[in-house]
């Protein structure tokens, strides 16, 4: 329960801290907001309005009968396309590429206005007829086009200003720097309105224009699966209307082309079979004539009857054999590949089952749609509609295989029955003379081939009728039209500007704190160590004297040192003569400043205080008191001075100073000298408080030596200066027992009354 409560408090504290930082940096937010709104203003001013163009088409149901139904018993071009594939085909690269080329969108005329280049779509100064071979070599280039009068124009490149004065006549073949073209005048065009206006003519690569329209065209399948919505957004509504109109026309043309190709494959397949049958008929006829020339055999009445019976039996048996061959070819084609070119023809001449015909037709159509949709996108497209269509193809193949296998079993049974009957009849015929038998066989084969020939010719004629009568299944419900007026994103841009103006500075502040490796808040200390916090010292005005407490005893900084004094007395309440050591992790964390002012606060309580500068490497404390450093602690430890010689009085009552003295070559060894202990013991007799300012703990071992004499160690941490790693290191020393009786003094805290402070708002300015 307490843990949850603490988590809630921490979360609230973090949010509150971020909000208060944002408030303190209001000027940063204001600056970013002004910049963002300025960008939004100019974006709105110099952005052209856009228009939305929409159209709706219907993919009609293919269940109605037409001429093709005589061929299959259903429509040769029946489409049962997986839902969504039609939409994908409409947006496929080949369809849009063809649309772009037919509209000639690779050519554009633009003219400059107050916003920038504006396309002159629909009012181009000329129709450009460019040699195709030369056009390919000049993709991506731009030229200047100026109408000089109603019969002449100028054409030049900006990097060829010398040609700017050359006049060309409309309709004239021009060869300009490898670009061969003719500029054709447009009828009913008021050329007087554009004389001397400079147009820019550009040649764009078809691929890039195609990709542009592929990306911005929205093709949305209707909820009923039979309608498709097309939408485009652009700055020129007439151009977008023309594009969608042409796109639908191209799509319809491609659909009719696909249907005709399917019917043509059927006709070609039947034609090949007809040629084979014709060759067989010619061979039979030759053999029949040969037999009659060699023999005068005539068929008796009984032979004729036997012949008719055998003919009926073998004709039916031949039909069953033909069906079995077609069934086997169907199975082989379906199971071996995805090339179903011959399936329609096989179904036309050998499949009577309407359900099986429908499955075959669906399979052929589905695979053709997949092939068309995959053009320009590769075989490994992950489009869900294509994947669903592929799954549908596999299901159709399985259903067809099962149906064909059932038909094969039934057909074999019927054929075996007919073959048994035919064999019985043949035995009777074989009793007749040999010449008569040969003639019977030839006549029988001739009749069978003639019947097949008539059947195939009939099927071919029906397929040709189906091809001639093919029509589109696409119907335009709503023609392309502009929906609504011009759309500008003024409000949206301002909302985006406001959003960015708030989130960017906030994100910067949060990320700065997140990425910082310095101690920024009191919470940073508490999260990384359980060493008690002695107090917080406010930031003082830099450049002034360090004697803040002495010079401004009523300032908030002075009061913060008084609070530290009270806390120190609490930590050492059982000691009379108190010794404090001040250290830090690195230099620049305010040890000297804190030592001087803490010593001053103790002196203000009428207690005798001595401040010892034990940082023998960088002597500092004497300068702010106006004292000298000629003789100091290093002299005493080296045995060249007495105690009385190194103690200096200050202008502050009750406060004396022992400066560091000249920098010795061996500071650590001097501090380990027994004389240091003697000095501390002697000072305890004369002073109530002894404050020792040492070198940084993280750099040298001097502080550890002096801690042996201290009742309490003060570890200085400076806001936005001390590394977080230093706090962790001190915590490790504290946990290991190497650092005892220690507390942390948070120094140089910026004025943040929302986070810190002691409630002393009535005091003077902190630097005074």
What per-residue confidence (pLDDT) applies to 433?
A: 53
**Given this model, what pLDDT does residue 64 score?**
37
* Confidence (pLDDT) at 5: 37
DSSP-assigned states of every residue in 638-690: HTSS-HHHHEEE-SSTTEEEE---SPPS-HHHHHTSHHHHHHHHHHHHH-SEE
pLDDT tens digit sequence for 583-619: 988 888 888 899 999 999 999 999 999 999 988 888 8
Residues with Cβ within 8 Å of residue 544, at least 6 apart in sequence: 551, 767
Residue whose pair of structure tokens reads 């067809």 in the numeric block? 400
Per-residue pLDDT, 78:
40
**228 neighbors 90 (Cβ within 8 angstroms):** yes
Is residue 216 assigned to a domain? Answer: yes
Band of residue 544 on the pLDDT scale cut at 50, 70, 90: low
Of 192-206, 370-384, 684-698, which range is least confident?
370-384
Instruction: Determine whether 378 is exposed, middle or buried from the number of CB atoms within 10 Å of its CB (0-12, 13-18, 19+).
Output: exposed
Mutual angle of helices 434-468 and 237-294, in 10-degree steps = 170
> Quick one: pLDDT at residue 298?
47
Residue 392 lies in a domain: no
Domain identity same for 7 and 85: no
Does 702 share its domain with 729? yes
Task: Work out the average pLDDT over 470-479.
Answer: 78
Tens of pLDDT, residues 260-276: 777 777 777 777 777 77
> Which CATH number fits the domain that encloses residue 701?
3.40.50.300
User: Which of residues 196, 228, 246 is at a domain's end?
Assistant: 246
> Among the three residues 246, 271, 288, which one is the final residue of a domain in this structure?
246
Pair (551, 672) in one structural domain:
yes
Considering the domain architecture, whether residues 36 and 67 belong to the same structural domain is answered as: no
- Per-residue pLDDT, 489: 66
> Would you say residue 379 has pLDDT above 50?
no
**Three-state DSSP state, 231:** strand
In a domain, 483, yes or no: no
Q: pTM higher than 0.85 for the full model?
A: no
Average pLDDT, the chain: 79
> 745: which strand partners?
535, 716
Q: 622: closest CA among 671, 579, 589, 655?
A: 655
Out of 112-121, 246-255, 404-413, 646-655, which region has the weakest mean confidence (pLDDT)?
404-413
In a domain, 758, yes or no: no
Record the tokens describing residue 177, joined without a space.
Answer: 């720097």
Q: Are residues 117 and 30 in the same domain?
A: no
**pLDDT band at residue 306, thresholds of 50, 70 and 90?**
low
The answer to whether residue 761 scores a pLDDT higher than 70 is no
594 and 720 share one domain? yes
Percent of the chain predicted with pLDDT > 70: 77
For residue 569, is it within any domain?
Answer: yes
Q: Are 97 and 196 in the same domain?
A: yes
CA distance linking residue 242 with residue 480, whole number of Å: 8
- Which of 11-20, 215-224, 454-463, 488-497 has the lowest average pLDDT? 11-20
Asked if residue 238 and residue 93 are part of one domain, the reply reads yes
DSSP assignment letter at 764: B
> 507-516, 645-654, 670-679, 746-755 — which is least confidently predicted?
746-755
What percentage of the chain exceeds 90 in pLDDT? 26
Total domains present in the chain: 3
Contact 698, 726 (CB under 8 A): yes
Q: Is the pLDDT reported for residue 665 higher than 80?
A: yes
9-37: average pLDDT: 76
Final residue of a domain: which of 190, 211, 246? 246
67 and 177 together in one domain: yes
Rounded to the nearest 10 degrees, the angle between the axes of helix 434-468 and helix 343-350 is: 120
Q: What is the pLDDT of residue 108?
A: 93
As a whole number of angstroms, the distance between CA 594 and CA 674 comes to 28
pLDDT at position 85:
66
Same domain, yes or no, for 6 and 122? no
Confidence label for 693 from pLDDT (cuts 50, 70 and 90): very high
- 59 and 32 within one domain: no
CB 692 within 8 A of CB 592: no
Question: 3-state SS of 236-303?
Answer: CHHHHHHHHHHHHHHHHHHHHHHHHHHHHHHHHHHHHHHHHHHHHHHHHHHHHHHHHHHCCCCCCHHH
Question: Which pLDDT score, from 0 to 100, does residue 765 have?
Answer: 45
State the residue range of the domain holding 116. 52-246
Residue 439: both structure tokens together: 């003639």
Which residue would you say has higher pLDDT here, 329 or 664?
A: 664
> Would you say residue 675 has pLDDT above 60?
yes
Please determine, for residue 453, whether its predicted confidence score (pLDDT) is greater than 60: yes
pLDDT in tens, 136-171: 888 989 999 999 998 999 999 988 877 888 899 999
pLDDT, tens only, 43-98: 777 778 888 999 998 877 544 333 333 333 344 334 444 455 677 778 888 889 99
Q: In this structure, are 566 and 702 located in the same domain?
A: yes
* Residue 35 forms part of a structural domain: yes
> Does 219 map to a domain?
yes
Confidence of residue 316 (pLDDT cuts 50, 70, 90): confident
User: Which pLDDT score, from 0 to 100, does residue 170 have?
Assistant: 94
Residue pair 344/76 in contact by the 8 Å Cβ criterion: yes
Residue 61 placed within a domain: yes
The pLDDT-based confidence of 310 (bands split at 50, 70, 90) is low
Q: Backbone phi, then psi, for 763, in 5-degree steps?
A: -75, 170
Over residues 719-759, the pLDDT tens digits come to 988 888 888 888 988 898 888 889 999 998 886 544 433 33
């Amino acid at each position: 329960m307490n843990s949850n409560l603490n988590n809630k408090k921490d979360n609230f504290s973090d949010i509150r801290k971020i909000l208060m930082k944002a408030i303190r940096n209001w000027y940063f937010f204001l600056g970013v907001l002004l910049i963002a709104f300025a960008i939004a203003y100019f974006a709105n001013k110099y952005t052209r309005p856009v228009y939305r163009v929409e159209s709706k088409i219907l993919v009609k149901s293919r269940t109605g009968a037409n001429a093709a139904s005589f061929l299959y018993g259903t429509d040769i071009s029946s489409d049962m396309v997986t839902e969504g594939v039609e939409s994908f085909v409409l947006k496929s690269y080949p369809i849009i590429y063809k649309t772009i080329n037919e509209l000639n969108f690779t050519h554009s005329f633009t003219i400059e206005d107050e916003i920038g280049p504006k396309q002159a779509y629909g009012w181009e100064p000329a129709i450009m007829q460019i040699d195709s071979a030369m056009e390919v070599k000049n993709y991506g280039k731009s030229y200047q086009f100026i109408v000089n009068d109603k019969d002449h124009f100028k054409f030049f490149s900006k990097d060829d200003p010398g040609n700017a004065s050359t006049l060309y006549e409309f309709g004239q073949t021009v060869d300009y720097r490898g670009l061969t073209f003719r500029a054709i005048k447009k009828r009913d065009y008021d050329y007087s309105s554009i004389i001397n206006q400079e147009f820019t003519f550009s040649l764009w690569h078809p691929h890039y224009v195609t990709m542009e329209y592929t990306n911005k065209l929205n093709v949305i399948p209707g909820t009923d699966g039979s309608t498709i919505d097309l939408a485009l957004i652009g700055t020129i509504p007439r151009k977008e209307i023309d594009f969608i109109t042409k796109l639908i026309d191209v799509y319809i043309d491609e659909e009719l082309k696909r249907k005709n190709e399917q019917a043509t494959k059927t006709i070609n397949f039947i034609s090949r079979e007809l040629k084979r049958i014709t060759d067989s008929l010619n061979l039979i006829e030759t053999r029949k004539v040969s037999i009659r020339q060699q023999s005068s055999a005539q068929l008796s009445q009984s032979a004729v009857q036997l012949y008719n019976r055998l003919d009926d039996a073998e004709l039916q048996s031949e039909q069953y054999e033909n069906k079995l061959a077609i069934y086997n070819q169907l199975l082989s084609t379906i199971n071996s590949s995805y090339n179903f070119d011959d399936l329609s023809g096989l179904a036309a001449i050998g499949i009577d089952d309407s359900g099986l015909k429908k499955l075959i037709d669906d399979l052929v159509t589905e695979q053709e749609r997949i092939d068309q949709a995959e053009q320009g996108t590769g075989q490994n497209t992950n489009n869900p509609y294509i994947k669903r269509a592929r799954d549908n193809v596999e299901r159709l193949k399985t259903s067809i295989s099962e149906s064909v296998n059932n038909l094969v079993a039934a057909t074999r049974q019927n054929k075996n029955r007919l073959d048994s009957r035919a064999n019985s009849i043949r035995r009777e015929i074989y009793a007749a003379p040999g010449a008569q038998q040969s003639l019977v066989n030839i006549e029988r084969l001739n009749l069978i081939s003639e019947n097949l020939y008539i059947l195939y010719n009939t099927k071919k004629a029906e397929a040709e009728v189906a091809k001639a009568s093919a029509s589109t299944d696409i119907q335009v419900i709503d023609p392309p039209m502009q929906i609504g007026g011009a759309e500008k994103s003024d409000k949206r841009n301002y909302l985006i500007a406001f959003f960015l103006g708030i989130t960017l500075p906030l994100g910067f502040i949060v990320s700065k704190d997140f990425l910082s490796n310095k101690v920024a808040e009191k919470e940073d200390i508490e999260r990384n160590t359980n060493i008690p916090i002695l107090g917080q010292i406010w930031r003082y005005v830099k450049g002034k004297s360090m004697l803040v407490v002495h010079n401004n005893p009523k300032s908030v900084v002075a009061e913060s040192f008084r609070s530290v004094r009270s806390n120190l007395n609490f930590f050492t309440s059982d000691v009379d003569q108190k010794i404090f050591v001040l250290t830090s992790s690195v230099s620049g964390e305010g040890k000297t400043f804190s030592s001087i002012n803490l010593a001053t606060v103790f002196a203000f309580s009428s207690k005798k205080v001595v401040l010892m500068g034990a940082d023998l490497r960088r002597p500092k404390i004497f300068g702010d008191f106006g004292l000298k450093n000629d003789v100091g602690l290093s002299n005493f430890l080296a045995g060249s001075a007495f105690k009385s010689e190194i103690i200096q009085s200050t202008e502050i009552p009750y406060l004396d100073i022992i400066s560091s003295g000249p920098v010795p070559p061996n500071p650590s060894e001097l501090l380990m000298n027994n004389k240091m202990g003697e000095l501390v013991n002697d000072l305890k007799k004369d002073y109530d408080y002894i404050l020792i300012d040492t070198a940084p703990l993280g750099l040298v071992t001097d502080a550890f030596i002096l801690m042996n004499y201290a009742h309490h160690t003060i570890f200085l941490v400076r806001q936005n200066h001390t590394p977080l790693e230093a706090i962790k290191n001190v915590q490790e020393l504290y946990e290991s027992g190497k650092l005892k009786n220690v507390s942390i003094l948070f120094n140089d805290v910026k004025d943040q009354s929302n986070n810190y402070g002691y409630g002393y708002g009535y005091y003077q300015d902190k630097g005074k």
